[in-house]
Chains A and B, each alone.
Chain A
Amino acid sequence: MARIGVVTFPGSLDDGQTARAVALAGGQPVRIWHADTELDGVEAVVLPGGFSYGDYLRPGALAAVAPIIEALRPAAAGGMPVLGVGNGFQILCETGLLPGALVANPGSTFRCLDARLRVESTTTAWTGGYTAGQRITLPVRNEHGQYMADENTVNHLQQTGRVVLRYEGGTGTTIGPACNIAGIADERGKVVGMMPHPEHAVEPAFGPSTDGLDVFTSVLTSLLETV
């Protein structure tokens, strides 16, 4: 059974639910503490949502220099699948493992809704189980959820199939060229960040759908394929 690491930072909120989602998908969740210096032999890592270090300085900025991130960098460089959800996405941008940044929503509003999304890329380690163009619904809740990057970066992401998820039906934010981007990948499709929360849509009657489960089954499938 594939061992999937779930990192807990002080202020992480979704680590427990992420571990549950990994188990429901058929993986073995391995809890990792932010101060750990080793990844404990896991085959993939999830940085969960929440407010690591209280969002002090900037969301994700202090987590990006946590000891476990120093262990994560060479693993990610070696092709280990890494998923950042919500605050985890913010952390991945702050580490530079993904380009761009997540900035405050228009009006600094806290957005909490069930986002309608389109799966744009199924070639990543975390979305291989979806079909291209599939419509899914996942919960979104954040204050710094607007993806931003310079125009060249946004164009490059779009042209190279690295936009993984897009908001649909007005559930995205409304400013800027990247306004509908909900998730992106690195150039190899191994490191993925998304603002919507798949781990909160894995069980009937808990969340708006069970559309999130495929994120976790996808990575388990991708690990089998790479062995």
Chain B
Amino acid sequence: MARVVVEVMPKPEILDPQGKAVAEVLGRLGIDDVTGVRQGKRFELHLAGEATEENLTQIRRAAEEVLANSMLEDVVSVHVAGLD
């Protein structure tokens, strides 16, 4: 039963209001070494069986088309958990 991890991040040039708000709060808590925060998403997809090149290809496509909006976000990683 493989688990596939998909990570999505806002594109660098896109303003990330959530990350910015988190950064401000960290500063208020005295964690002032942090100069910026970008907040993304991590999806864990549970497979019925093993990860194959075939279902990984499907998942990569779904990641680009559904899990991320390619206008705003980049799929930064699609990998099988435990192999990373």
Contact = CB atoms under 8 A, between A and B. Distances in A.
Interface of A: 57-58, 61, 65, 94, 100-101, 103-108, 148-150, 175
Given A104-B18, A108-B18, A61 B66 contact: yes
Contacts of A101: 69, 71-72
Given A107-B17, A108-B21, A175-B15, 5 more contacts: A58-B69, A94-B69, A100-B71, A103-B72, A148-B71
Interface in B6-63: 14-15, 17-18, 21
Contacts of B14: 103, 148
A101 B76 CA distance: 20
B15 A149 contact: no
Given A106-B17, A107-B17, A108-B21, A57 B71 contact: no
Interface of B: 14-15, 17-18, 21, 66-67, 69, 71-72
Contacts of B15: 103, 106, 175
B66 A65 contact: yes
A107 B71 CA distance: 20
Nearest to B73: A58
A100 B18 CA distance: 20
Nearest to B14: A103
Contacts of A103: 14-15, 72
A94 B72 CA distance: 11
B17 A108 contact: yes
A150 B70 CA distance: 12
A65 B14 CA distance: 24
Nearest to A107: B17
Residue from B21, B66, B71 having most chain A Cβ neighbours under 10 A: B71
